[in-house]
A and B are shown apart, each in its own frame.
Chain A
Amino acid sequence: MSVWATLNRTVFKRTSTFALAVASGTFFFERTFEVASQSIFERINKGKLWNDIKHKYE
């Protein structure tokens, strides 16, 4: 039995587990996406952001 079928049977078939999967999936997706975007932004702008220069003033 494939992974997909197992997942379908155990999670997606029942509304309660499906809703839970949606909620937790949203949470993890949002965190991953946010952290990834932020790190791309910080890598592009390395040296220009406040976080890069604040050590001089603390």
Chain B
Amino acid sequence: MAAAVGRICGARLFRNTGIVGPQVCQLSTSSQGWTRNRKLLLSTLGVVGGGVGALLFALEQSVQASGSEAHPPHQPWSHDGWFQSLDHASVRRGYEVYKQVCRACHSLQYIAFRNLVNVTHTEAEAKAEAAEVMIKDGPDEEGNYFERPGKLSDYFPSPYPNENAARAANNGAYPPDLSLIVSGRKGGEDYIFSLLTGYMEAPAGIVLRDGQHYNPYFPGGAISMAQSLFDEAAEYSDGTPPTASQLAKDVATFLRWCSEPELDDRRLMTIKAIGMFSMLAAVAYYFKRHKWSTMKSRKLAYKPVSKK
């Protein structure tokens, strides 16, 4: 990189030209143009850079029709948009869904009960939630491990002690940890929502093994997780009707929060960055006008050389 910059700029980088010098240089036609080599290098750089950019754009825009899985349609999430925060009522309902349905098989090991405080629950409620689960702790004074009610500082307990136990209990399939699942899957919460609501009868020709189910949104179609969200599969404490799509929407929002607890802060930071950078842009614009005022308002007078 440094070599390329050096080739393009040459020794001009190091020459002291004063303040007015460069401006005069740029405006004057007397200075030399680019050399052949520099033109060649710059046009190569431009073509290569543009080509790579076009390739990336094309890859991103490709229809991706070679796979067999269905692409999740985009849902109108309430946290879509530059300034839109998470819907915390929805996150709270999603936690209830996780607690009543998903937790039977899926761990959520990077979320602690203290994370719920002032996000979905008050401190007292979060303490009560934590106290409902038993946490393995120890060793005590005699070297024994024991179980105790959870505290705010505890992370969500996993349903299985380790991955092998999880596989053994689920036909060899490992229920993935859900902490970062929305960031970790292509399609994010759209994928989660489509997967949870997309179970259907396997079409003719698809062979499913024992314990497998058909879901067109799952890569390959054969998923080991059975459909778990039905109408009234969970109960909401705020009285929202627990239809299957409502459950899926709320748990997807909750899992988005698990993956990106800082989402609200980022939205706020966007507002601040726009405010701050617009002020700085105004300053930069004024400064540019200020510095160029001498150049723009000058007059050049040519004195004809009088002939003898």
Q: Which residues of A contact B (CB under 8 A)?
A: 33-34, 36-38, 40-41, 44-45, 48-50, 52-54, 56-58
Contact = CB atoms under 8 A, between A and B. Distances in A.
B268 A38 contact: yes
A14 B78 CA distance: 53
Given A48-B85, A49-B85, A53-B88, A37 B122 contact: no
Contacts of A33: 272, 275-276
B114 interface: no
Given A33-B275, A48-B89, A57-B122, A41 B267 contact: yes
A40 B271 contact: yes
Interface string B137-151: 000000000000000
A37 B271 contact: yes
5 contacts: A37-B271, A41-B83, A41-B268, A49-B88, A57-B121
A13 to B, nearest CB: 22
A57 B268 contact: no
Nearest to A57: B122
Given A36-B275, A45-B84, A49-B264, 13 more contacts: A34-B272, A37-B271, A38-B268, A40-B271, A41-B85, A45-B267, A48-B84, A48-B88, A52-B88, A54-B122, A56-B238, A57-B125, A58-B122
A48 B267 CA distance: 13
B86 interface: yes
A52 B308 CA distance: 90
Nearest to B273: A37
Given A33-B276, A41-B83, A57-B122, A48 B78 contact: yes
Contacts of B154: none
Contacts of A49: 85, 88, 264
Nearest to A34: B272
B224 interface: no
B215 interface: no
A56 B122 CA distance: 10
A50 B118 contact: yes
Nearest to A56: B238
A45 to B, nearest CB: 4
Interface in B87-114: 87-89, 92
Contacts of B83: 41, 44-45
A53 B125 CA distance: 14
Contacts of A45: 83-85, 267
Contacts of B267: 41, 45
B119 interface: yes
Contacts of B84: 44-45, 48
A40 to B, nearest CB: 6
B95 to A, nearest CB: 13
A58 B122 CA distance: 7
A48 B122 contact: no
B219 to A, nearest CB: 33
A55 to B, nearest CB: 10
B120 interface: yes
A58 B124 CA distance: 9
B90 to A, nearest CB: 8
Interface in B56-101: 78, 83-89, 92
